[in-house]
Amino acid sequence: MPHATHVRVQLNCEPIWEGPIKNWATSFIRHELWRCDRLHGQDDLLQEAHLLFWKLTERYPRVLEPAKFMGLFKKCLTNLLNDKSSYISRRKNAYTVLPEDVNNYCYNMTGDTTNAGYLSALLNEAPQELKLAIAMTLNEELQPLENLNMKLRRILGLSDTFDLKDALYDLLFN
């Protein structure tokens, strides 16, 4: 008796976002939205689910059965939302409320504490006029349609053609 050969039948089934997958993702996100950060709305998470869907279709082209692909998608979306919800708890543990502003505490320190060691040392050695100009720029508000360069030119009374960037570069590095 000859042996029967088994031929695996290829299902030409390509996953489609519209339909059961999108509906399940929408429902799942609606129920699990409370666990995620307020920055992520339902639409944002649905877009991330759509991107996850496309990544899965590209990464796993051999998963052809709809039930298996749906199971893979459910597991990956669940893991994605678990990661986003655990990020909130980690972030809450990382932030602490301090009694005073840290910038006031670290203002005169130089080095690794503030990551501004060289600049702080240069500012401490700067002429009094430059320190006064910097203090004036911090106290003045930006005018509408004005960037920092325009603000400094206005406060210091410089012409519009004065290249402040090159002047500061020469002061710091030459």
The answer to whether residues 35 and 81 touch, using CB atoms and an 8 Å cutoff, is: yes
Which tokens sit at 51?
Answer: 């991107």
**Residue 47 is assigned to a structural domain of this protein:** yes
Range of the domain at 132: 102-173
- Residue ending a domain, choose from 53, 69, 94: 94
From 72, 94, 116, give the residue that closes a domain: 94
Amino acid letter for position 56 = L
DSSP 54-105: HHHHHH-TT--SHHHHHHHHHHHHHHHHHHHHHHHHHHHHH----SS-HHHH
Same domain, residue pair 69 and 113: no
In a domain, 13, yes or no: no
Supply the pTM of this predicted model: 0.47
Q: For each of the chain's 174 residues, which pLDDT tens digit applies?
A: 566 676 655 555 678 888 899 999 999 999 988 888 777 788 999 999 999 999 999 888 887 788 889 999 999 999 999 888 887 777 666 666 656 666 666 666 555 555 566 777 777 777 777 777 777 777 777 677 777 777 777 777 888 887 777 777 777 777
Answer yes or no: do 107 and 164 share one domain: yes
Residue 8 lies in a domain: no
Residues 65 and 108 in one domain: no
Calpha distance 10→7 (Å, rounded):
9
Last residue of one domain, picked from the residues 77, 94, 111: 94
Cα angle 140-141-144, degrees, rounded to a multiple of 5: 140
Q: Is 83 part of any domain?
A: yes
